[in-house]
Amino acid sequence: MMNTSSSTPPVAETGTGGVRVSTLSNGLRVVSESMPDVRSVSVGIWIDAGSRDEKPQVAGASHFLEHLLFKGTARRSAQEIAESLDAVGGDMNAFTSKEYTCFYARCLDRDLPLAVDVLGDMMTSSRVRSADVDAERDVVLEEIRMHLDTPDDLVHSLWSEAFFREHPLGREVLGSVDSITNMTRAQVHRYYRRAYVPANLVIAAAGNLDHDRLVELVGEVFGGIEDPGTPLRKSVPPLRPEPASAFTKKPTEQVHLVLGGPGLARGDDRRWAAAVLNQALGGGMASRLFQEVREKRGLVYTVYSYQEVHGDVGAFAVYAGSAPQRAQEVLQVVTTELAKARDDGLSEAELARAKGNLTGSLVLSLEDTGSRMSRLGKGLITATPLLTLDEVVAAVEAVTLEDTRAVGEVLLGGPQTLAAVGSVDAKLRLRLQRVVSAA
């Protein structure tokens, strides 16, 4: 992708509820939400490419590239990139997921042109030099080693690998020691040129801004790129969940457990009911699992449930960490509570609490520009309808007990995958597998 000062006007615009969306003639989309009562702006460049879009031999390329784009462009050194927002009191960072990558900045409203220029420069003109690849390779390898040394993180990767199997969603976002060690500069640069194209990009911003001015700024950086490129993601065979288990023995004081199975894809109409059920089961201190496993029995310090939501598939899982001698009992209580929820559903009180928690936390989470920007960028990059806050609250409030019972049959009734990391000997493995088989 080449940088240029030419600009291209938007060819289409939509918007609702204070949100405006413009599309440049090269396919790049710009979305914003005005918050006139603040003095700051958050802006993010979202790339429709993540670990699921990599070939196995370059596993971790998206995350590797996230690091490398901070190492310098034709116009700025790595130090100048670091100093640019810091000098005006702003901040800049990035993250990579299985389905997208995001580079973002938060600054005073007057410094929005600077933020767009710096981020755009990184997207279009990074050098990805061989020396930087070699230097940053060691940084990423240290990050992988840190992940491998953190059992309550590692167990989720182990579970995903066992659950998704050959599906690309089963790969670790960081890649592996082998893939990062062997990845060449040419491979990383080729991935950069394929992924960072207008067809794969969304620029999102929220705060005290003018949408037309934002589009103008984006056009100055990206508008002269005439070739939109080709979307990176390829269709893959559908996932066919099967019972599975995976264990990694480590000399730890706890056994870390994840138990889960099939969930819902991102656009599923039942997602609101699934969110309510997840909140009631393991979403907070008042949730069923927290009360039963920690408060009443004192078996764990941490237990929670979560959803893993992707464009074409999803998962629902429960995490818990306990002393090895209590791991079997913990898993037994978890499977019992999940079976009760599947067979009997939630109570009226649980339903009300879960809906109140979700709507309240949603409103509170959107008090800052960063959260607003993320909602916009994630929605557009994942082709999720950009609902207004009132529409989301109404959708949650409309969930009934019957809705949660029906979705519970999906989230809690499929084949289960178990992963465990820690002091797991052969006898404990067998006991844990028997608990899952009997559930």
Active site residues: 66
> What is the rounded distance in angstroms from the CA atom of residue 305 to the CA atom of residue 258?
9
Question: CB burial class (10 A; 0-12, 13-18, 19+) of residue 224?
Answer: middle
Q: Kindly list the distances between the CA atom of residue 76 and the CA atoms of 197, 219, 365, in Å, as whole numbers in the listed order.
A: 21, 20, 34
The alpha carbons of the chain give a radius of gyration, in whole angstroms, of 23
Scored b (16 or more CB within 10 A) or e, 420-434 reads bbbbbeeebeeebbe
Q: How many helices (H) and strands (E) does the chain have?
A: 16, 12
> What is the rounded distance in angstroms from the CA atom of residue 398 to the CA atom of residue 385?
18
Instruction: Beginning with the edge strand found earlier in the chain, give each strand of the sheet holding 201-207 in spatial order.
Output: 10-16, 19-24, 29-34, 201-207, 40-47, 101-108, 91-96
What region, left, alpha or beta, does residue 307 occupy, with left being phi > 0 and alpha being psi -120 to 50 degrees? beta
Strands 101-108 and 244-249: unpaired
Helix (H) or strand (E) holding 208: none
